Amino acid sequence: MDTENQEPLPEGSQLAAIDLGSNSFHLLIAKIEHGEMRPVEVLAEKVQLGAGLEKGRLSDEAIERGLDCLSRFAQLLERVEPQRLRVVGTNALRIAKNRRAFTKPAGKILGTKVDVIYGREEARLVYLGVAHTLADDARSRLVVDIGGGSTEFIIGERFEPRKLESLQMGCVSYAKKYFPKGKISKSNYRKAYDRACLETSHIRHGYHGGRWEESVGSSGTLNAIEAIIIENGWGESGISREALKNLEKNLLKFKTMDEIKLEGLAPQRRNVIVPGLAIASALFDVLGIDHMRTSKGALREGVIYDLMGRLTHEDVRDRTVNALMQRYAVDVDTAEIVERRALTLYAGVRINWQLATDQWELLHWLAHTHEIGMAISHKHFNRHSAYLLRNADLPGFSQEEQEQLAVLAQGQRGKLSNDLFADIADTDLPQIRYLLTIVRLAVCFKYVERLSLMPDFTITAEENALTLGFPEGWLAEHPLTARELELEQDALAKIGMTLKIS
């Protein structure tokens, strides 16, 4: 895949990002001006997807609230091309067992897929959004984002994050757990604070005050806290420990969240401000934060900047794959052979199998990482490759992309069964089966190409069928390859694919 020759985005191009948070959904439409993004439409709705989680599943009501919100967002997106819109889901969708009951109809409404991202990828994107709002100096900074279901911590300099972490604590999940029915008490508050202290203590060693020079708060919760502090005269800007104590004292006077009335507090923040304060106070105390400034930059801005890179020549996923290759000492020559064969096959079947650029990108990355498991053991290396691709922190990749890469890596050789596709959405299954067919043949041919040049062969694709035509006599001269292809016919038949050799 050649990204080096991609042109910068034309002046005035419109890009859009949607952040499907556990508390609120945010839409940002931006215009590119002089290489930077300028917001032209900003919209947010309190959906509280996370509040609809029961036993790890989203309720029908929560799904309906979310889809209704996206239907309204869709009106503003009519002028934005689908490839210039990115939709990311965070903690509520990460942990929901039935997330596809939401992401599938959401994708249809918006005309593009929903990327559910892991916590550390969320942290990376948050930092990217915040860094573009701050001075480009060399000071190290701690960035904190308290969301509805998780809290992200990042230490970085300029535009580069150095350490990333995501903890399972958020203002919506804590409201539900520690303040049932919106009741406020000192005892409930203390339980929330103590739990947040315990969670934060797990990362204290790497994120305490000696590791950075300034702290920055992102997200609605920390910006809301600052707004209350300023409106009530407890500080002029930012958040201090003393100001947090004043806010705590005043909030704990109320018996229920519905009763809360404080200058600077927006009505939609009323039912999450107390758990948000408990988390903020805990991380101030555990990490030794004395003062925190805030930033309007957040996940959605980071998604826009990351999308700008993807549409030019700075896709962080390519950097991630290159780092994997170096870390696991990948044989570059073999990787290039597999990519070359995969490209030949992809070009031959692309139209009839209706494969898009996204599918080629998966093949490209898989070709370069399919042997990373060799660093663990040659035996069953495909399983080790799959494990690493599924479980490693891969900056830039969504949860779904990692799952798909893992399936392709595991299925590159050996026996096949439909159990392999357990994590694949039904809508993606046909394309993944097609990609796996390409991968297995590309891997098969890599052994041939080490010994002799591959001949020009014909490729004919039909639905669930592929025909390869070789020059007369070539297969007879290469009996090992002929045998490999016979075995592939049997293997692919197990997943409903017909391979014909002529």
HEC string for 4-20 = CCCCCCCCCCEEEEEEE
Do 167 and 291 sit in the same domain of this protein? Answer: yes
Do 431 and 325 sit in the same domain of this protein? Answer: yes
- CATH number, domain of 20, equals 3.30.420.40
The pLDDT, as a whole number, for residue 478 is: 85
Q: Which of 450, 468, 492 finishes a domain?
A: 450
Paired sense of beta strands 465-469 and 498-501, if any: parallel
Establish if 473 belongs to a structural domain.
no
Do 279 and 386 sit in the same domain of this protein? Answer: no
Do 279 and 231 sit in the same domain of this protein? Answer: yes
Q: Which of 280, 309, 338 finishes a domain?
A: 309
- Tell me the two tokens of residue 117: 């991202």
Establish if 479 belongs to a structural domain.
no
Q: Which of 253, 284, 309 finishes a domain?
A: 309
Do 142 and 263 sit in the same domain of this protein? Answer: yes
Sign of CA dihedral 307, 308, 311, 314: negative
β-sheet bridge partners, residue 115: 88
Q: Does the pTM exceed 0.85?
A: yes
The rounded Cα 499 to chain-centroid distance in angstroms is: 35
Establish if 197 belongs to a structural domain.
yes
Which residue pairs from 419-424 have beta carbons closer than 8 angstroms and sit at least 24 positions apart in sequence? 420/495, 421/495
The pLDDT, as a whole number, for residue 4 is: 44
Do 148 and 287 sit in the same domain of this protein? Answer: yes
The pLDDT, as a whole number, for residue 2 is: 45
Quote the CA–CA distance of 339 and 57 in Å, as a whole number: 39
Quote the CA–CA distance of 84 and 72 in Å, as a whole number: 19
- Tell me the two tokens of residue 449: 């190409």
Establish if 489 belongs to a structural domain.
no
Cα→Cα distances 75→14, 39, 71, 474, Å? 15, 17, 7, 58
Do 326 and 254 sit in the same domain of this protein? Answer: no
- Tell me the two tokens of residue 38: 């300028």
Sequence-ordered list of residues with C-beta below 8 angstroms from that of 132, at least 6 positions apart, any chain: 36, 159, 297, 301, 305
Domain that holds residue 146: 134-295
Do 376 and 414 sit in the same domain of this protein? Answer: yes
Q: How many residues does the chain have?
A: 502
The rounded Cα 40 to chain-centroid distance in angstroms is: 25
The pLDDT, as a whole number, for residue 133 is: 85
Do 405 and 262 sit in the same domain of this protein? Answer: no
Coil, strand, or helix at residue 110?
Answer: helix
- CATH number, domain of 168, equals 3.30.420.150
Establish if 86 belongs to a structural domain.
yes
Quote the CA–CA distance of 499 and 486 in Å, as a whole number: 9
Establish if 487 belongs to a structural domain.
no
Establish if 342 belongs to a structural domain.
yes
Task: Output phi, psi for 286, to 5 deg.
Answer: -75, -40
Tokens 């305490």 label which residue? 208
When divided into structural domains, the chain yields a total of 3
Paired sense of beta strands 140-146 and 214-218, if any: parallel
- CATH number, domain of 434, equals 1.10.3210.10
Count other C-beta atoms under 10 Å from residue 472's C-beta.
7
The pLDDT, as a whole number, for residue 413 is: 93
The pLDDT, as a whole number, for residue 309 is: 87
Paired sense of beta strands 140-146 and 151-157, if any: antiparallel
Do 321 and 441 sit in the same domain of this protein? Answer: yes
Phi-psi region of 233 (alpha: psi -120 to 50; beta: other; left: phi over 0): left
Do 260 and 113 sit in the same domain of this protein? Answer: no
Mean pLDDT split into 10-residue runs, the chain, 502 residues: 55 92 94 85 92 92 96 93 94 94 96 95 95 80 95 93 95 95 96 97 94 93 95 94 96 94 91 96 97 93 92 87 95 93 95 94 96 95 97 94 96 91 90 96 78 80 95 88 91 95 91
The pLDDT, as a whole number, for residue 3 is: 41
Do 35 and 106 sit in the same domain of this protein? Answer: yes
